Amino acid sequence: MKPLKRLVENVEPHFAEGGKWRKYWPLFDGFATFLFTPGHPTHKGAHIRDGIDLKRTMAMVILAMVPALLLGMYNVGYQHFLAIGEQAAFLDIFLYGMWKVLPLVIVSYGVGLGVEFVFCIIKGHQINEGFLVSGMLIPLVCPPDLPLWMLTVAVIFAVVIGKEVFGGTGMNILNVALTARAFLFFAYPADLSGDKVWISGVGDQVVNGYTGETALAQFAKTGGEVAGMGGQSFASQADFLWAGFIGLIPGSVGETSTLAILIGAAILIFTGIGSWRIMASVALGGLAMGYLLNGFSGSFPDNGYLAIPPYSHLIFGGFAFGAVFMATDPVTASQTPSGKYIYGFLIGVLAVIIRVLNPAYPEGMMLAILFMNVMAPLIDHYVVQGNINRRLKRVKLATHG
Amino acid sequence: MAKTIHLNKGLDIRLVGEAALKTEPASASDTVLIKPTDFVGIKPKTLVQAGDEVLAGSPLFFDKNNPEVIVVSPVSGEVVEIVRGPKRVLLGIKILADKTVRSLQLPQIDVQSADAETLIKFLCSHGVWAFIRTKPFDAVAFPDIKPSAVVVCGFDSAPLAPSVEFLLQGKEEAFKKGLEVLSKVSGRKVHLTTHAKANNAGWANAFSGTENVVFSGPHPAGSVSVQLHHIAPLNKGDFAWYVQAEDVARIGTLVSESRFDGSRRIALTGSSINNPMYLDAVIGSSMAALLKDQKMADTEFGNRVISGNVLTGDKVGQDGYLGFYHHQVTVIPEGKHREFFGWAAPGFDKFSLSRTFFSWITPSKKYALTTNMHGEHRAFVVTGEYEKVFPMNIFPVHLLKAIHNGDIEQQENLGIYEVSPEDFALCEFVCTSKIESQAMVRAAHDLLYGEWVDSRKEPVHH
């Protein structure tokens, strides 16, 4: 480490004020602070500071996503071999999945960080760590066989239009990863919906009984007696729910396993990084709306989605992933404590409304979060206004009473 | 039965180097520096020149905005230097102190029979009024404005802060007298605040004419603005008074012994001090005198000598001087070290409000924190952090945004008059993006205070 430290310290003057590579200082700073924590002491204000910084925060979020990533990799292989009807060993299954998922992760990070570096050099900013999380979120919400060029276009769109035009990390209105996902969904709908995109490497060689419908669509059609998903069949509704909870059903890379996501949620809540207020209220909102709509299932027998057990909304699709990793993005969520409850609850409500009443969109969660991202400042405005009104009322009492 | 107010929000930063409850006389301070810069928003005008002989209690300077209030010398000796900065701004009055303090003999005053006006004049002209400060702004109180509340805080909750009970040891009678005077000049009952966990939790009941309010919970429970927020919230135009407990005793001594007591017991704290303890020194003591008998830790990047505590104190250096209101000196190691992959390390040695470092395993461990920033300045990203250490019904982030935008109406709406810069010290400490919010609040207060002073529009003659 010593020689490396010396190297960093030796080249630093070239990037400092007046150095010949001053322009590339953000680049140097990005790498230097990745290798070594910055050695800056405090100058004004509090003389000591909390050990935490944005790098540590982002590292924790990535750590929380690792269970979902690993299980996602395994599941990509698992679904593939089931669909083509082949037996495979555990390691083969995992390696297949890794072979499919890793390029997505690498391209997402490579392209996204590349764009960030360019913007930082142009603007002379330091590299912000925001994309470290977005770069992992994006592959986790994509189908495993997504062409890499599409991913590239989506990442560039999300970073430039979703974030940099607003001023970079901390300034964006919409969640960056969801901006990428929404871009893909609306720009290349054929590659992000339909029967085959959720399972990797299936051409025409599928097993008998293969079905590519989403879990909720299955549920809605059969009213609980589930035949199967992808290449697997289920004996009972409980088996199906269990598979959905563990994550061994087709879907986007990282969002199938509710269990892995819950482990992530536990890490985020325990470390104090993720807002439990938002996570809990999203779940509550989803359940509340689910039960409400479920009450109308007798009146509208044509819509099978009304009859779905309401709690299954929390297990299938992107609901859990969105609640834990997307809705909690502090930059795009409500910032006030009570605003977070409202924001989260409405995300849950909207996601279920879209899923049940407009089943043509399997992306209820994505749309709900993006919509509430836009509404979050409005929620905060009213929460803050409430505080202001209480203060004004107190002044009035003091002057008249 | 005293009222108890429980505060859940806040943070006690557990540091190494708490002062042991023993005290010694400090080495005689050869020079003493009284700094007008320790007073908020003043326009100082000096009353002495280099070469003048002064006694403890002799006038040194006054504020042109608040000319009745005189700041006096804490020691006897010779004025050796009038320290001036750019544009001849008065930065300090340096006095070469005598070995034994000779006090200016003041006229006798009877608190019982004197009316409030006479008493106020007496306190103003003999140096103790300068210890009465106001919320908002933390400026010296204007004698002609009656306060909306008076708070004397009986504890200090800041990191490594001294035990206020120990600071008052032997001065109980003077303290009692001081409370009586405060009550008389303010025309209000004095709120004497204590902490549920401190030894003096019950002692506050012993003082008649005061109302004891007990607080419980972590720092900043000892912040007067936090206390006022829960006792008697400030509206625009209100001024509350607050006085540090030892300075209340100083007021008591002035009226009962007819002399200005310039002594100041301080806590010498911090991980770089080998023998953290208390010292009986004087206001404005030199760090050289205070640290003379201490062996400082030999650290890679040297030590930082702070007058005050680690959250709100001033970096004065080893050749600096004790701040006018400070009763604590903290010495901690400078932290300019770079740590290899520090963001990924387990971090058993890192203190954090979050549980992102494995230091959560040791919830009662004390830390020898350095001055390292632990990161770089970033745009504001993480929400909900400040709220965890801000025990007031105020939105700290939105208030800071209003300050950042220069929107005074919104600042007032969001409670700018109820906060002090020190209330944001913990926000600054916990901030993931390393945003320095104390200075922002200070700047906002300076602007508002300046406007308020101008609005008084009284021609100043002296």
pLDDT digit string, tens, across residues A260-286: 999 999 999 999 999 999 999 999 999
Asked if B282 and B75 touch (Cβ cutoff 8 Å), the reply is yes
Interface check for A256 against chain B (CB to CB < 8 A): the answer is no
Q: How far is A39 from chain B (nearest CA, A)?
A: 4
- What is the model's pLDDT at position B367? 95
Interface check for A4 against chain B (CB to CB < 8 A): the answer is yes
- Taking contacts as CB-CB distances below 8 angstroms, the residues of chain B near A61 are none
Order of strands across the sheet that contains B90-97: B31-34, B90-97, B77-84, B53-54
Asked if A368 and A229 touch (Cβ cutoff 8 Å), the reply is no
- What is the model's pLDDT at position B17? 95
- What is the model's pLDDT at position B459? 58
Interface check for A307 against chain B (CB to CB < 8 A): the answer is no
Q: How far is B435 from chain A (nearest CA, A)?
A: 10
Task: Flag if B413 and A36 touch (Cβ within 8 Å).
Answer: no
- Taking contacts as CB-CB distances below 8 angstroms, the residues of chain B near A388 are 413-414
Structure tokens at A1: 């480490």
- Taking contacts as CB-CB distances below 8 angstroms, the residues of chain B near A55 are 343, 375
Task: Flag if B351 and A38 touch (Cβ within 8 Å).
Answer: no
Interface check for A55 against chain B (CB to CB < 8 A): the answer is yes
Q: How far is B366 from chain A (nearest CA, A)?
A: 14
Residue indicated by tokens 């009222």: B3
ipTM of the complex: 0.93
Q: Burial level of A124, CB count in 10 A (0-12/13-18/19+)?
A: exposed
Say what angle helices B437-456 and B396-404 make with each other, to 10 degrees: 60
Task: Flag if B370 and A55 touch (Cβ within 8 Å).
Answer: no
Distance between CA B391 and CA B304 in Å, rounded? 30
Q: How far is B234 from chain A (nearest CA, A)?
A: 9
Interface-testing mutation among B231, B362, B369, B381, with chain A (most A C-beta atoms within 10 A): B381
Task: Flag if A37 and B339 touch (Cβ within 8 Å).
Answer: yes
For the beta carbon of residue A305, count every other beta carbon within 10 angstroms: 21
pLDDT digit string, tens, across residues A158-188: 999 999 999 888 899 999 999 999 999 999 9
- Domain assignments of chain A as residue spans, ordered by start: 54-192, 275-401
H-helix or E-strand spanning residue A380: helix A364-400
Q: Can you point out the beta strands (E) in B296-336?
A: 303-307, 314-315, 328-333
pLDDT digit string, tens, across residues A199-248: 887 765 666 666 666 777 777 776 656 666 777 778 788 888 899 899 99
Task: Flag if A41 and B370 touch (Cβ within 8 Å).
Answer: yes
- Using CB atoms, which residue from A41, A271, A394 is nearest to B233? A394
Q: Burial level of B255, CB count in 10 A (0-12/13-18/19+)?
A: buried
- Taking contacts as CB-CB distances below 8 angstroms, the residues of chain A near B438 are 44-46
- Taking contacts as CB-CB distances below 8 angstroms, the residues of chain A near B428 are 45-46, 49
Interface check for A14 against chain B (CB to CB < 8 A): the answer is no
Distance between CA B305 and CA A391 in Å, rounded? 41
- Using CB atoms, which residue from B235, B374, B434 is nearest to A37? B374
**Cα distances (angstroms) measured from residue A255 to each of A67, A116, A290:** 11, 26, 20
Interface check for A271 against chain B (CB to CB < 8 A): the answer is yes
pLDDT digit string, tens, across residues A343-390: 999 999 999 999 998 877 767 899 999 999 999 999 999 999 999 999
Interface-testing mutation among A2, A9, A29, A48, with chain B (most B C-beta atoms within 10 A): A48
For the beta carbon of residue A146, count every other beta carbon within 10 angstroms: 24
Number of Cβ pairs < 8 A linking chain A and chain B: 211
What percentage of chain A exceeds 90 in pLDDT? Answer: 59
Interface check for A373 against chain B (CB to CB < 8 A): the answer is no
pLDDT digit string, tens, across residues A102-111: 999 999 999 9
Task: Flag if A45 and B439 touch (Cβ within 8 Å).
Answer: yes
Is the pTM above the cut of 0.90? Answer: yes
Task: Flag if A47 and B310 touch (Cβ within 8 Å).
Answer: yes
The SS3 call for residue B10 is coil
Structure tokens at B449: 């205070």
- Using CB atoms, which residue from B312, B356, B383 is nearest to A271? B356
Interface-testing mutation among B299, B306, B338, B404, with chain A (most A C-beta atoms within 10 A): B338
Interface check for A130 against chain B (CB to CB < 8 A): the answer is yes
Q: How far is A117 from chain B (nearest CA, A)?
A: 16
- What is the model's pLDDT at position B147? 97
- Using CB atoms, which residue from B340, B383, B436 is nearest to A335? B383
- Locate the chain B residue with the closest alpha carbon to A276: B384
Q: How far is B58 from chain A (nearest CA, A)?
A: 34
- Using CB atoms, which residue from A37, A170, A337 is nearest to B384? A337
Q: How far is B69 from chain A (nearest CA, A)?
A: 29
Picking from B227, B229, B231, B262, the residue whose alpha carbon sits closest to that of residue B155 is: B227
Asked if A180 and A157 touch (Cβ cutoff 8 Å), the reply is yes
Task: Flag if B338 and A37 touch (Cβ within 8 Å).
Answer: yes
What average pLDDT score do residues A24-46 get? Answer: 86
Task: Flag if B378 and A42 touch (Cβ within 8 Å).
Answer: no
Q: How far is A91 from chain B (nearest CA, A)?
A: 28
- What is the model's pLDDT at position B203? 63
The pLDDT tens digits along chain B (462 residues) read: 568 899 999 999 999 999 999 999 988 768 999 999 999 999 999 999 999 999 999 999 999 999 999 999 999 999 999 999 999 999 999 999 999 999 999 999 999 899 999 999 999 999 999 999 999 999 999 999 999 999 999 999 999 999 999 999 999 899 999 999 999 999 999 999 999 887 765 565 667 778 889 999 999 999 999 999 999 999 999 999 999 999 999 999 999 999 999 999 999 999 999 999 999 999 999 999 999 988 888 888 999 999 999 999 999 999 999 999 999 999 999 999 888 888 888 889 999 999 999 999 998 999 999 999 999 999 999 999 999 999 999 999 999 999 999 999 999 999 999 999 999 999 999 999 999 999 999 999 999 999 999 988 655 555
Amino acid of residue B340: F
